[in-house]
Structure 1
Amino acid sequence: MNLKKELPLITIVLLPFFYLAYIWNQLPEKVPMHWNIKGEIDRYGEKIELIIIPILLPLLVYIIFLVVPKIDPKNKLNKMGNKLQTIKILLTTFMSILALFIIYSVKNQSFANQNYIILLIGVLYIILGNYFKTIKANYFIGIRTPWTLENETVWKKTHKLGGKLWFVGGIIVVLTSLILDKDPNVTVFLIITGIITIIPIVYSYIIFKNGIEHRV
Structure 2
Amino acid sequence: MKENKWWKEVPLIVIMTCPFLVYYYLKPLLPELVPSHYTIDGSGQWVVDGRMAPGGFVTTMFFACLVVYLALSFPLLAKKWQTGLRQQSVLLAPIIYSLKAGLILLFSAIPVYEMLVAGGKLTGGSAAMWSYIGGIALLVLLNLFIYRLYSVMYRHSEEKPLARKSYVIIWASTHVVVSIGPLCALLVAGRISADKMIPQFILVFLAICGNLLYNVRPNPYLGIRTPWTLKNETVWRKTHRMGGIMLFVFGVAGFFATLIANEHQSHYILLSVLLITALVPTAYSYIIYRKLIHQP
Same fold (TM over 0.5): yes
Aligned length: 167
Give 1:88's aligned residue. Answer: 170
Change (3 A) 1:188 1:209: same
Counterpart code for 1:142? G
RMSD value, Cα: 4.0
Residues 137 and 155 in structure 1, CA contact (< 8 A), matched pair in contact too = yes
Give 2:264's aligned residue. Answer: 183
**How big is the shift at 1:134?**
2.3
Is 2:209 aligned against 1:128?
Answer: yes
Q: Structure 1, residues 10-34: CA drift from partner, whole Å, max 9, x if none?
A: 79x99xx99x979x99xxxxxxxxx
Q: Structure 1, residues 84-140: CA drift from partner, whole Å, max 9, x if none?
A: 44323311110011232466689x7x9942211211111111111111122110111
Alignment gaps of 5+ in structure 2? 1-84, 112-145
Q: d(CA) in 1 for partners of 2:211 and 2:194?
A: 27
* SS of 1:134 mapped into structure 2: coil
Identity within the alignment, %: 29
Q: Which residue of 234, 249, 253 corresponds with 1:172? A: 253
Q: d(CA) in 1 for partners of 2:94 and 2:244?
A: 28
Give 2:285's aligned residue. Answer: 204
**How big is the shift at 1:151?**
0.3
Q: Structure 1, residues 134-179: CA drift from partner, whole Å, max 9, x if none?
A: 2110111000011101100000000000011001111112102211
* SS of 1:149 mapped into structure 2: coil
* SS of 2:224 mapped into structure 1: coil
Change (3 A) 1:147 1:76: farther
> When the two structures are superposed, what TM-score results if normalisation uses the length of structure 2?
0.46
Residues 203 and 255 in structure 2, CA contact (< 8 A), matched pair in contact too = yes
* Aligned pairs for 1:26-65 within 5 A: none
Give 1:119's aligned residue. Answer: 200
Residues 166 and 212 in structure 2, CA contact (< 8 A), matched pair in contact too = no
Q: d(CA) in 2 for partners of 1:203 and 1:84?
A: 21
Counterpart code for 1:86? V
Q: d(CA) in 1 for partners of 2:217 and 2:271?
A: 28
Runs of 4+ off more than 4 Å: 4-11, 101-106
Counterpart code for 2:179? I
* Aligned pairs for 1:2-41 within 5 A: 2-3=88-89
Q: d(CA) in 2 for partners of 1:200 and 1:191?
A: 14
Q: Which residue of 240, 253, 256 corresponds with 1:159? A: 240
Alignment gaps of 5+ in structure 1? 26-58
> When the two structures are superposed, what TM-score results if normalisation uses the length of structure 1?
0.61
Q: Structure 1, residues 60-83: CA drift from partner, whole Å, max 9, x if none?
A: xx99xx8xxx9x9xx772xx33x3
Greater RCO, 1 or 2 (C-alpha within 8 Å, sep 6+): 1
Q: d(CA) in 1 for partners of 2:229 and 2:199?
A: 29
Q: d(CA) in 2 for partners of 1:202 and 1:10?
A: 45
Change (3 A) 1:146 1:76: farther
